[in-house]
Amino acid sequence: MHHTRFSSWYATPARPACSALTSPNITRTNMSAPIRRLPVTLLWVSLMGGLPAANAMYLSADNLVTHAAANVVATTTDANSTDANSVSTNRYQALSDLYDKAHYRHITQQVSADIATQEADALLWRAKALYAQGEDAEAFDEWLTEVLAKHPNHAQLNFYGALVKFRLAQASTFSALGLAKDGLALLKKAETLAPTDMVIKDTLVGFYLGAPSIAGGDEDEAKRIADVMAQQDAVMGTIAQIKVLLNQEKTAQAQQLLQAELAKQPQNSSLLLQQARLLQQTETKDSAAQQRMTVQLFQLYHQVGSSASKPNEKYSALYDVGRLAATQYDTFAALAAQSQAASTAATPAPAEVLQQGKSALTDYIAFYQGGENSRLLWAKLRLAQIHLRLKDTATAQQLLAALQAEKISDKKLQQELKTVAASLAAG
């Protein structure tokens, strides 16, 4: 009985760079007064997918990217030579920049798989890139097991060892339970080795909330860790506590906690993105409420895109500015018409929305161009839609022609590309 129930948790492969909350396929936002609790299966899958370029609810990709730079660059030391230390630091900063821009293959080309000759921190960058690519998890797991045999006390290598175990568990039927427990053991070891690392703690919270009890799920332990986090880091602790409250279906308390922290740090991009996630999890049949919340989301994403210092937060928000401009233009136009009829100012005006969306997606594409960001092609499609709205058919045609020359496996993207191309052809 347990076997059948547990194997069902891994039936759906995780998409490597996009969460259920920030899918590039979202074309409308459903929102309501009470926040919808995510199914436990979704929490578990989102944890084990390890989404490197999206805002997963329980395994923040933004935090993983920041984690990459902070832990590798900061831990690089060479007691014998300042010059050697400088060279290593510069190398790791260059790898960090490549990782931010999703140039994962460049990283694997620059850092060989040779465990004997590579430093632990260099191997970590290779591990991060391989994990982000999401290819051949079994081979990656075998290699990383050998890495950990040589570097057993490297916290971040243990962390990624845990994540790949979770990914394998998701795809497994008969070995899922054992893999999940192995992953938890590595994750707990990583926390022991780096007790102040908020990303590791946050991932533990996600595991304990999302995993079934047979695999180690434990809501009480999740709450305990979230409370410890709140004492060490106000922002990440607040976000972790919100996850616990939502898991307990205490929506009002979660909203109050977020607003209290936002009152202290109103410009904090992580908190603003958490506010956007709460909005995205709500649903309503009230079209007026949907319209208002679409505007709220647009403004939140624009604020984060304009001010965030973390590249992944900044560009994730910019993508969503462009996505909403492209897919929700009719909402902004309807609100503008209502405002005009009521002699009140429209906020924001439809033309302004299109220009902000165009600018946001242009910046997004420029940042990720040449890399392996999974939403890059979607960004180009959304930009083409905006150019169609702006009557710039030449640029729209150029973008669509480039997309049509790509090998696209995403069926939803293929379908939308055909739809936009048909709109262009119809004039």
Q: Would you place residue 72 in the very low, low, confident or very high pLDDT band (cuts 50, 70, 90)?
A: low
Q: What is the mean pLDDT of the chain?
A: 84
Architecture of domain 284-427: Alpha Horseshoe (1.25)
Give the DSSP letter of residue 60. Answer: B
Q: What is the DSSP string of 181-230?
A: HHHHHHHHHHHHHSTT-HHHHHHHHHHHHHS-GGGT--HHHHHHHHHHHH
Q: Measuring CA to CA, how many Å separate 232 from each of 160, 193, 235?
A: 23, 16, 9
Tokens representing 239? 């976000």
The answer to whether 268 and 303 are in contact (CB under 8 A) is: no
Cα separation, 111 vs 88, whole angstroms: 13
Determine if the pTM surpasses 0.85: no
Question: CB count, 10 Å around CB of 220?
Answer: 9
Instruction: Report how far residue 378's alpha carbon sits from residue 423's, in angstroms, rounded to the nearest whole number.
Output: 17
pLDDT score recorded for residue 391: 96
Per-residue pLDDT band at 346 (split at 50, 70, 90): low
What letter represents residue 294's amino acid? T
Side-chain-side CA neighbours of residue 168 (13 Å):
23
* Cα–Cα dist 95/373, whole Å: 16
pLDDT at 45 over 60: no
pLDDT over threshold 90, residue 25: no
Give the residue ranges of DSSP H helices in 52-81. Answer: 61-75
pLDDT score at 68: 53
Contact predicate 269/239, CB 8 Å: no
- CB 326 within 8 Å of CB 25: no
Q: Look at residue 27 in the predicted model and tell me its pLDDT.
A: 38
Q: Which residue has the higher pLDDT, 377 or 25?
A: 377
Contact (Cβ atoms closer than 8 angstroms) between residue 242 and residue 257: yes
Q: Where in the chain is the domain with CATH 1.25.40?
A: 284-427
